[in-house]
Amino acid sequence: MVIIHSDIGLLDRAYGIVSSCDRCGTCLTVCPLFASDGVERTSARGKNVIVRAIAKGILKSEEEALKALEYCLLCRACVEVCPSQVQTDEAVIYARQYLTEKTGGTRIKYRLIGQWLGNRLSVKTTATLFSLLRRLRMNKLFPPGWLPDEYLAIVAGPAILGNKSDISDLSPRRMEKVAYFEGCGMKLFFPSVAHQTKRILASTSEKLKTPNNFCCGLPLLAHGMMADFIRLSEKNLAIFSDVDAVITDCASCGSTLKHLGRFLPTKEAEAFAQRVMDVSEYLVKVGYIPQSKDMGPLTFHDPCHLSRGQGIKWEPRKLLSAVGDYRDMEGSNICCGGAGSFHLDYPDTAQRLLEKKKLNIEATGAKMVVTSCPGCLIQLSKLSIPVCHICQVI
Ligand code: SF4
Ligand code: SF4
């Protein structure tokens, strides 16, 4: 069943959230966009004022309001520090949906991306094409200048380390019915990481299911396609209805699936969300013994959707401390600038955020940076330091 949100309902929801904002300004100290631009409307406080002004009919230009609200990483740094617990990211999603509908619907590029991600066959076909491009790239068969470097790095895959060949059976096996949720980012750009995650999960469970799931829907939710997001979510609910745990190695998918009940308030969605786990959360819980050793100095970049979206911070560190000289990074949980399509829509800001991340990584003396979200992997791989998904080093 698809829930159709009325315009009034959407704006009411957004207004209901932002009306708790007392404009204290605490969020200004942590918003990466405010730090980068120094402009009030980029902060949570500024965005909340915009939502209020739209709801009260003071701000008339819906296009301008949408433009301002689209400029948000949805990183939840503001939510984490807000004394009034204002969920600005959620308000932004509702307000974007409302304003998108008011201003003639989702923009064509997002609509095309949404339709493409909503179709498993089109994602699979593109993944096969990307895989071919990666092979051509590896064999240096791309004609020079055929694709600009920034696009080549995305479609043909960034340089990341390979997989371990052996995973021994030292970790205890569980009887639970465990399923792997494979995000589109993994399918398209990091199939070798997905392969490695499945091998690890297969070593800790009696029977691992790897169903052909749909996109988690986050890109649709973020860009004014809430009804399509809900349609995809309902299909995924049916696919994973008979398993005890749904494990993902994508922080963005994990956070979206765990918070499904916010947008699809049904018992089934709530029960499903309870069964979703990030791979590091699951592996620590089941007592997985990391297989690598002596990986040298390494550090961890916390994806926003892992540290704040799911509250998972120590589990990756526990696993990484077992495989190498783990070093904590200052600002490890500050957005790297990837943020879904943000780095494509606002490349200059994304680059500024990446430059700050680079300095923090360098200050640790680490020889490798590890993370657990395909969006962060793509963004961080623009740096010269090796970048890995956590499942590639444990
Ligand atoms: S910290 Fe919270 S209450 Fe304070 S201005 Fe920001 S969103 Fe509003
Ligand atoms: S979600 Fe992130 S980018 Fe958006 S207002 Fe909050 S801190 Fe700023």
What does 184-243 look like in DSSP terms, one character per residue? HHHHHH-HHHHHHHHHHHHHHEEEEE---PPP--HHHHHTT-HHHHHHHHHHHHHHTTT-
Residue whose Cα lies nearest atom 4 of ligand 1: it is 24
pLDDT at 141: 63
**3-class DSSP state for residue 96?**
helix
pLDDT digit string (tens) for 293-304?
888 999 999 999
Residue type at position 18: V
pLDDT at 138 over 80: no
- Provide, rounded to the nearest whole percent, the portion of the chain with pLDDT above 90: 68
Name residue, tokens 């923090």: 360
Residue whose Cα lies nearest atom 2 of ligand 2: it is 75
Query: Computed over its alpha carbons, how large is the radius of gyration of the chain?
Result: 21
Average pLDDT, the chain: 88
As given in the structure block, the two tokens for residue 119 are: 């179709």
pLDDT at 2: 37
Quick one: pLDDT band at residue 169, thresholds 50, 70, 90?
A: low
pLDDT digit string (tens) for 263-316?
998 999 999 999 999 999 999 999 999 888 888 999 999 999 999 999 999 999
Those residues whose C-beta lies under 8 Å from the C-beta of residue 260, and which sit 6 or more positions away, are 233, 269, 270, 272, 273
**3-class DSSP state for residue 325?**
strand
The answer, yes or no, to whether any atom of ligand 2 lies below 6 A from the CB of 51, is: no
Residue whose Cα lies nearest atom 4 of ligand 2: it is 72
Q: Shortest CA distance to 254 belongs to which of 231, 272, 234, 230? A: 272
The answer, yes or no, to whether any atom of ligand 2 lies below 6 A from the CB of 394, is: no
pLDDT at 107 over 80: no
Quick one: pLDDT band at residue 162, thresholds 50, 70, 90?
A: very low
Atom of ligand 2 nearest to the CA of 76: 1
End-to-end CA distance of the chain: 41
pLDDT digit string (tens) for 91-105?
999 999 999 988 887
Instruction: Give the C-alpha separation, 55 to 371, whole Å.
Output: 39
Instruction: Give the C-alpha separation, 110 to 91, whole Å.
Output: 20
Residue whose Cα lies nearest atom 6 of ligand 2: it is 78
Strand partners, 289: none
The answer, yes or no, to whether any atom of ligand 2 lies below 6 A from the CB of 223, is: no
The answer, yes or no, to whether any atom of ligand 2 lies below 6 A from the CB of 178, is: no
Do the Cβ atoms of 97 and 71 come closer than 8 Å? Answer: no
3-state SS record for 65-77: HHHHHHCCCCCCH
The answer, yes or no, to whether any atom of ligand 2 lies below 6 A from the CB of 368, is: no
What global pTM score does this model have?
0.89
Residue type at position 50: I
Residue whose Cα lies nearest atom 1 of ligand 2: it is 74
pLDDT at 176: 77
Atom of ligand 1 nearest to the CA of 43: 6
The answer, yes or no, to whether any atom of ligand 2 lies below 6 A from the CB of 327, is: no
pLDDT digit string (tens) for 182-208?
999 999 889 889 999 999 999 888 889
Ligand 1 cavity residues, CB under 6 Å? 21-27, 44-45, 48, 78, 82, 84, 86, 88
The answer, yes or no, to whether any atom of ligand 2 lies below 6 A from the CB of 88, is: yes
Q: Shortest CA distance to 319 belongs to which of 285, 276, 344? A: 285
pLDDT at 251: 97
pLDDT at 133: 79
Helix orientation angle between 267-275 and 251-258, rounded to the nearest 10 degrees: 140
* Domains located in the chain, CATH noted: 7-102 (1.10.1060.10), 287-392 (3.40.50)
Atom of ligand 1 nearest to the CA of 25: 5
Residue whose Cα lies nearest atom 8 of ligand 1: it is 21
pLDDT at 134: 75
